Chains A and B, each alone.
Chain A
């Protein structure tokens, strides 16, 4: 069955990026995204391309995997590029097709914007999806947000929900496949007919799926109760996150990168990207 999606796309490994504290990775990702949007000219883009390539090398993840991860955004990137090429007005006219005019600046701008999207996806997946398990991410999120629990935000409950969702998504996907097969065996047809007919055809899948999800939820709640779960209070964790020197070093390095980009924007004015 081809239903088994690569959920979270975590790649097993033991690189420095894998070993970073998930909290550090979350913070770094946020800073890195901001820095990418601060980048204005060709020099800063060059610098960020270099740092992102360094990240890829550090992570030890194969280029083929990364290229595969970029596939889904290909369309968005192309679309943005085309819009930029056709609707950007600059000084150097390259092609004049009467209705649309293509300028050198437009091409250039499009290139940088696509580069930004690519760098955005590659860098965040380097820090988050490829090197961090969804569970570790949830965990990091819970601990980063834990101060909010003091003002009554149910941080633990949200993270428990996330944990359980991560656990059950593959199970429910598999179950959907089974139910679909069972109904197909009774002659259900999911592929032909108009919109309304197709929507109706989904009922025999959705209802058993819901019934099963509720049954599972009930069972799981009982099982958790039997394992002495009483909510977040008084709970400890097996894996305690310890921030190490390299976590701080990484955060510092990325902050420094941000500062460098800002300075380069000011002191090295080159071709500037708009948008």
Chain B
């Protein structure tokens, strides 16, 4: 399987000043992201997950370690500005604050911004902008002012701006953190559509468990290190580990975990509430029949 992103032994330190000591934000972080996959990076605020994102987008340079994007080494001294520009054409980023990443005062002009920077011909930009807006369901807002949109709509405009550049990988840096439940739902649906239908590689940085549960793979960060990785089922089967890292597990997992502790034989890797109920019902019935 082809890897879109490969990270090896990444370390990153924020240098202190005055009486503020150095902070080691990343320590020996290694992982790979397969092409077309949906990876969630989970961690509490200050766990190093946003530093990781800024390194992946070549906004910060790591102290040591290597980052490969589509097999090309992007860290070290030999990396030229063209290499960075080239990598940015492939890996896009959607940030946390929907207001601070929209450049133009008309939606479609903003979506066009990235394509314009790539120097594409006008007709091509027009086509891509229309497609991108269609893809995120914002076509009818093309001539609107972004200021009047809801948070979720603004984030979808930002996503359209990234997909219009035809990137094969998008990193979402806590893009849902500032949204209301409706906005979060809109953005998550868009992300899943991009991943499942359009085949875009997605890296979702979040502290919402329900969102991470929808990924193919979860990487849990804590104290600048990778705490654990695996499928959501594997990761959430160890609630104590996550609680210790100041994180939560979905309520379904918590209930199953408590039932298991109470002696019920249940699986822990279930996030759907109906499946969860079915699993508990099954186990309870099994137990009741055993008792009889």
Contact = CB atoms under 8 A, between A and B. Distances in A.
Nearest to B162: A227
Contacts of A215: 100
B119 A238 contact: no
Question: Which of A164, A226, A235, A236 has the most CB atoms of chain B within a 10 A radius of its CB?
Answer: A226
A228 B114 contact: yes
Q: Chain B contact residues: over half helix, strand or loop, or mixed?
A: helix
Given A171-B147, A236-B121, 18 more contacts: A133-B106, A164-B103, A166-B105, A167-B146, A167-B147, A215-B100, A216-B99, A219-B95, A220-B103, A223-B95, A223-B103, A226-B88, A227-B162, A227-B165, A228-B165, A235-B119, A236-B119, A238-B109
Interface of A: 133-135, 163-164, 166-167, 170-171, 174, 215-216, 219-220, 222-230, 234-240
Contacts of A171: 99, 147
Interface string B65-94: 000000000000000000001001100110
B112 interface: yes
B97 to A, nearest CB: 6
A223 B100 CA distance: 8
Interface string B139-154: 0000001110000000
Given A223-B101, A226-B93, A228-B89, A236 B116 contact: yes
A219 B97 CA distance: 8
B104 A238 contact: no
B102 interface: yes
A265 B10 CA distance: 79
Question: Which of A220, A228, A230 has the most CB atoms of chain B within a 10 A radius of its CB?
Answer: A228
B97 A167 contact: no
B277 to A, nearest CB: 43
B181 to A, nearest CB: 22
B57 A238 contact: no
A237 B123 CA distance: 10
Contacts of B126: 238
Given A222-B95, A228-B114, A238-B116, A163 B125 contact: no
A217 B108 CA distance: 21
B208 interface: no
Contacts of B162: 227
Given A170-B147, A228-B88, A228-B89, A236 B120 contact: yes
B46 to A, nearest CB: 18
A240 B103 CA distance: 19
Contacts of B57: 226
16 contacts: A163-B103, A167-B146, A167-B147, A215-B100, A216-B97, A219-B97, A226-B92, A227-B103, A227-B113, A227-B114, A227-B117, A227-B161, A228-B85, A228-B118, A236-B120, A238-B109
A171 B113 CA distance: 20
B106 A135 contact: yes
A135 B103 CA distance: 11
Nearest first, the 6 A-B pairs at minimum CB distance are A219-B100, A223-B101, A238-B112, A227-B114, A238-B125, A228-B117
B59 interface: yes
Nearest to A174: B147
A163 B99 contact: no
B104 A167 contact: yes
B230 interface: no
B105 A237 contact: no
Nearest to A166: B105
Contacts of B5: none
B235 interface: no
A238 B147 contact: no
A137 B102 CA distance: 19
Contacts of A135: 104-106, 109
Nearest to B93: A226
B172 to A, nearest CB: 12
B117 A230 contact: yes
B268 interface: no
B115 interface: yes
B103 A167 contact: yes
A163 to B, nearest CB: 6
Nearest to B112: A238
Question: Which of A164, A215, A219 has the most CB atoms of chain B within a 10 A radius of its CB?
Answer: A219
B36 to A, nearest CB: 21
A237 B118 CA distance: 10
B93 A236 contact: no
Nearest to B113: A227
A229 B117 contact: yes
